[in-house]
Amino acid sequence: MDSFFRALGFSSAKDETERRSDIPEDNGYCLSGYVIPVEIILHILYHVPASDLIKSGVVVCKYWHHLLSQHHFWFVKLEVDGTKLSDSAKNKLLNLSDEKQMINLLQRIASGKLPFNRNLIRNPSGQDEFNHWKVRPGGNGVKIECPPVGSEEIPAEAGLLTQHCFVTSYNTSTRSQVIELQKRGFHPWIIDVLKPEIHITEWVSARFDCNSLSNFVVKLEGAKSGEEVSMEWSSLEGDVVLTKWYKMEKIVTEYPEGLKRIIFISSGCDHQFWAGHYGAKTAGSSVKLVL
């Protein structure tokens, strides 16, 4: 057993404590009387759920508490978990004057309490009927289809789990959803410090037999001011092919300070004023705060 531990790079806890007075034998890097190399401890901790590390890992011993109190650990932990931070976001975090504040933010991102890089729109394609949406119907109102009728399937590029979509009618119908950022964990000061990009997307299509129009408006409400961004799509545009799906996308980098609320509004209708549901089809409504 002694040769097994030494072959793995473990050293005797007794030898180590005789050499270093700051290492107590009962600390959290000893196993059966041998000191575990820090590289092995870190490799194990990187694969432990962040919530467990924050709740229990930090109280195992002073040594683990020290390891889990280093910002470098949490940057690597996020990479291991597949959460990508841009160089800009990393620099903003590293430039924080309060180290504890930086660690707290990293831990909250790692544990999912700050859902950056995730869609904040609920029920984005109507797979849960009209839950979370406020609908103002026009014509024959808004309908949900699965799969889309009269157009191609929603492409895999959209990353959607189902083929549900919203369909509008001959007068403009609108659906809207309010995102209260503080309820999602985003206090205004966090947004002000990290300045994430706001990525807004929606997929849209028209039937093979009827031209249609679609647009979205996104209202960004800050502590003292507001701002709007919008985008419009029409199947009458020169290069648009009926039945195909297109991605409408906006990336917002400048927005009011103290951002507290985002309102997403999607509208659509058909161009030919036909009774029924021949208007624009939309799916995958998305608003993400991207680091």
Question: Is residue 244 in some structural domain?
Answer: yes
Please tell me the number of Cα atoms within 13 Å of 24 on its side-chain side: 6
Q: Are residues 171 and 281 in the same domain?
A: yes
Q: Are residues 30 and 70 in the same domain?
A: yes
What average pLDDT is seen over the chain?
Answer: 89
Domain count, the chain: 2
Q: Are residues 188 and 105 in the same domain?
A: no
Please tell me the number of Cα atoms within 13 Å of 137 on its side-chain side: 12
Is the model's pLDDT at 6 over the cut of 70? no
pLDDT tens sequence across 188-236: 999 998 999 999 999 999 999 999 999 999 999 999 999 999 999 999 9
Q: How much is the pLDDT for 246? A: 97
Where in the sequence is the domain holding 176, given as residue range(s)?
134-290
Q: How much is the pLDDT for 8? A: 41
Q: How much is the pLDDT for 32? A: 62
Tell me how far apart the alpha carbons of residues 98 and 103 are, in angstroms, rounded to a whole number: 9
Q: pLDDT confidence of 29, banded at 50, 70, 90?
A: low
Question: Is residue 172 in some structural domain?
Answer: yes
Q: Are residues 139 and 269 in the same domain?
A: yes
Percent of the chain with pLDDT over 90: 74
Tell me how far apart the alpha carbons of residues 274 and 167 are, in angstroms, rounded to a whole number: 13
Is the model's pLDDT at 11 over the cut of 60? no
Is the model's pLDDT at 68 over the cut of 70? yes
pLDDT tens sequence across 87-145: 888 998 999 888 999 999 999 999 989 999 999 999 999 999 999 999 999 999 999 99
At which of 76, 110, 144 does a domain end? 110
Is the model's pLDDT at 5 over the cut of 60? no
Q: How much is the pLDDT for 34? A: 67
Long-range CB contacts for residues 141-146, cutoff 8 Å, separation at least 24: 141/169, 141/173, 142/166, 142/167, 142/168, 142/169, 142/173, 142/175, 143/167, 143/169, 143/277, 145/277, 145/281
Q: How much is the pLDDT for 107? A: 93
Question: Is residue 116 in some structural domain?
Answer: no
Q: How much is the pLDDT for 27? A: 56
pLDDT tens sequence across 244-271: 999 999 999 999 999 999 999 999 999 9
Is the model's pLDDT at 14 over the cut of 70? no
Is the model's pLDDT at 10 over the cut of 50? no
Tell me how far apart the alpha carbons of residues 215 and 212 are, in angstroms, rounded to a whole number: 11
Q: How much is the pLDDT for 18? A: 43
Question: Is residue 123 in some structural domain?
Answer: no
Q: How much is the pLDDT for 37? A: 81
Q: Are 114 and 186 in contact (CB under 8 A)?
A: yes
pLDDT tens sequence across 230-245: 999 999 988 999 999 9
Q: Are residues 179 and 246 in the same domain?
A: yes
Q: Are residues 260 and 190 in the same domain?
A: yes
Q: Are residues 85 and 157 in the same domain?
A: no
Q: Are residues 150 and 282 in the same domain?
A: yes
Q: How much is the pLDDT for 12? A: 47
Phi, psi of 233 (to 5 degrees): -135, 140
Q: How much is the pLDDT for 66? A: 87
Is the model's pLDDT at 23 over the cut of 70? no
Q: How much is the pLDDT for 270? A: 95
User: Which of 280, 268, 269, 282 shows the shortest CA–CA distance to 170?
Assistant: 269
Percent of the chain with pLDDT over 70: 88
- Within 8 A by CB and 6+ apart from 9, the residues are 37, 40
Q: Find tokens 């995730």 and name the residue.
A: 118
- Within 8 A by CB and 6+ apart from 91, the residues are none
> If DSSP codes are grouped into helix, strand and coil, which group holds residue 161?
coil
Q: Which CATH number fits the domain that encloses residue 87? A: 1.20.1280.50
**Tokens (6 digits) for 127:** 């797979």
Q: How much is the pLDDT for 232? A: 96
